[in-house]
Chain A
Amino acid sequence: MAAGNTLTPTAYIQHHLQNLTFGYHPDHGWAMAHSAEEAAEMGFWAIHLDTMAWSIGLGVLFLWLFRKAARAATTGVPHGLQNFVEMMVEFVDNSVKETFHGKSRLIAPLSLTIFCWIFLMNLMDLVPVDLLPMLAQKIGVMFGADPAHVYFKVVPTTDVNATLGMSLSVFALIIIYSIRHKGLSGFIGELTLHPFSSSNKLFQVILIPINFILEVVTLLAKPVSLALRLFGNMYAGELIFILIAMIGLWQLPLHFSWAVFHILIVTLQAFIFMMLTIVYLSMATEEH
């Protein structure tokens, strides 16, 4: 177990689920959070260093790999990396073409980035739960930190900030696409004249607020569900890995079987996030 035998299971789990937070604490100023409470007290002005580092690192890894293949891309018979990259690109391109009927230079690369990035971030779940946090602890101790205070969460998608950050970006794109394709009035009309409409002007005026409430909920549900679906799946998966890690030797077969099953979830969640993004954006560009 990561933090030694003195930890109770609850503390162990909590330790695993706490991000390495750097932020402004009302009492200590800019500093690392030494506990979950301190991290909570920092409020909004804090940043999860582990989430940021892993997600950016994995994103750079993805782009580096794909850029390498893209630069070397030939029209001849593709080999190795190029083959793989082309397969991914074609897979994403087909998914986009099937769902999104408008023309957009952004949406296909966006989908590719979403799929690959989320897939890589999710994949970190398959690294043994204690391995990287222990390494981080060793490094932290070298820098003179209390081992109990070195929090380290490896899977960025188990941090709701990461998933919400992406889904809010997608949300912004939904609004931009809606306004660009339907105009501001069209967008507002969509929010207010749907789903109830009446030919009677008076009734229509009464119906507008009802429509507005319904449609805004629908609209806001998109990014929230997008973020929480991914977060919830990965968080639950991570939690089960942590629980399995606590049962002693029997964890090995269990770990393996859960990891195999988790490969499915990892891929599926990345795919769902990508597909829903495409669907939302195609809904934003099409008239109902």
Chain B
Amino acid sequence: MNLNLTLIGQAIAFAVFVWFCMKYVWPPVMQALQERQKKIADGLDAASRATRDLELAQEQADETLRESKEKAAEILEQAHKRSNQMIEEARENARLEGERMIAAARSEIEQEVNRAKEELRSQVSRLAVEGAERILESSIDEAKHRELVDKLAAEL
């Protein structure tokens, strides 16, 4: 084994290779690696962000759904209440109307009764006068005794 110029040649070759590698090989590869790393990191970030957004949207949808359900229940309840109220009112109205009609009928009946009574009275008075006329024949002057007969009729 002789040490000779090869040693220096090798050292020079080595230096040149290292220089070349440092200048033209390492930086572009490293840059590509780092850029890819960044891209992957960005992608992962975006993915996690999207997941979070999705979760948020889901939550919002749930919230909206819940709210609308509540509202619907409220509206339903209100409608229920209102309908009950209406039924109550209608019932009341009907009752009142009925009462009114009953009252009206009653008064009408009373009136009719009164009218019948009046007529009866007048007929009775006429019949009485007629009867009396027949009994007394012409002794009684209708005009003279009208007052008496009316008084009699009113007493009936």
**A23 adjacent to B4 (CB under 8 Å):** yes
- Decide yes or no whether A39 CB sits under 8 A from chain B: yes
Shortest CB-to-CB span from A121 to chain B, Å, is 10
Choice from A46, A112, A169 contacting B25 with Cβ under 8 Å: A112
Residues in B49-89 with C-beta less than 8 Å from chain A: none
Once the chains are docked, how many angstroms separate the CA of A89 from the CA of B28? Answer: 11
Known: A63-B20, A75-B39, A112-B21. A168 touches B7 (CB 8 A): yes
Chain A residue with minimal CB distance to B33?
A86
Shortest CB-to-CB span from A46 to chain B, Å, is 4
Chain B residue with minimal CB distance to A106?
B22
**B18 adjacent to A44 (CB under 8 Å):** no
**A109 adjacent to B22 (CB under 8 Å):** yes
**B6 adjacent to A52 (CB under 8 Å):** yes
- Decide yes or no whether B29 CB sits under 8 A from chain A: yes
Known: A46-B5, A105-B22, A166-B10. A86 touches B17 (CB 8 A): no
Q: What chain B residues lie within 8 Å of A112 (beta carbons)?
A: 21, 25-26
Shortest CB-to-CB span from A101 to chain B, Å, is 18
Once the chains are docked, how many angstroms separate the CA of A182 from the CA of B3? Answer: 33
Known: A51-B6, A117-B17, A159-B6. A166 touches B11 (CB 8 A): yes
Known: A40-B2, A160-B1. A89 touches B29 (CB 8 A): yes
**A73 adjacent to B32 (CB under 8 Å):** yes
Q: What chain A residues lie within 8 Å of B7 (beta carbons)?
A: 161-162, 164-165, 168
- Decide yes or no whether A79 CB sits under 8 A from chain B: no
Shortest CB-to-CB span from A114 to chain B, Å, is 8
**B33 adjacent to A168 (CB under 8 Å):** no
Known: A70-B29, A74-B32, A161-B4. A109 touches B9 (CB 8 A): no
Render A53-86 as a binary contact track against B, CB cut-off 8 A, 1 for contact: 0011001001100110111011110100010011
Q: What chain A residues lie within 8 Å of B30 (beta carbons)?
A: 89, 93
**B20 adjacent to A86 (CB under 8 Å):** no
Shortest CB-to-CB span from B10 to chain A, Å, is 3
Q: What chain B residues lie within 8 Å of A165 (beta carbons)?
A: 6-11, 13-14
- Decide yes or no whether A90 CB sits under 8 A from chain B: yes
Known: A59-B17, A110-B18. A67 touches B24 (CB 8 A): yes
**A45 adjacent to B4 (CB under 8 Å):** yes
**A44 adjacent to B25 (CB under 8 Å):** no
Q: A-side binding surface: helix, strand, loop or mixed?
A: helix
Known: A89-B26, A89-B29, A89-B33. A66 touches B8 (CB 8 A): no
Known: A75-B36, A85-B29, A110-B22. A52 touches B2 (CB 8 A): no
Render A6-48 as a binary contact track against B, CB cut-off 8 A, 1 for contact: 0000000000000101010000000000000001101111111
Once the chains are docked, how many angstroms separate the CA of A110 from the CA of B6? Answer: 21
Q: What chain B residues lie within 8 Å of A76 (beta carbons)?
A: 36
- Decide yes or no whether A191 CB sits under 8 A from chain B: no
Shortest CB-to-CB span from A210 to chain B, Å, is 30
Chain A to chain B contacts (Cβ below 8 Å), 25 pairs: A40-B2, A43-B4, A45-B5, A46-B4, A47-B4, A47-B5, A55-B10, A55-B13, A63-B17, A63-B25, A67-B25, A69-B29, A70-B24, A70-B25, A75-B36, A82-B32, A89-B33, A105-B22, A108-B26, A113-B14, A161-B10, A162-B6, A165-B7, A165-B8, A165-B14
Q: 4 nearest interchain CB pairs?
A: A165-B10, A73-B32, A161-B6, A109-B22
Residues of A within 8 A of B (CB): 19, 21, 23, 39-40, 42-48, 51-52, 55-56, 59, 62-63, 66-67, 69-71, 73-76, 78, 82, 85-86, 89-90, 93, 105-106, 108-110, 112-113, 117, 156, 159-162, 164-166, 168-169
| Beyond A70-B25, A105-B22, A165-B8, 9 additional pairs, beta carbon < 8 A | A21-B4, A43-B4, A52-B13, A67-B25, A73-B28, A112-B25, A161-B3, A161-B4, A165-B11
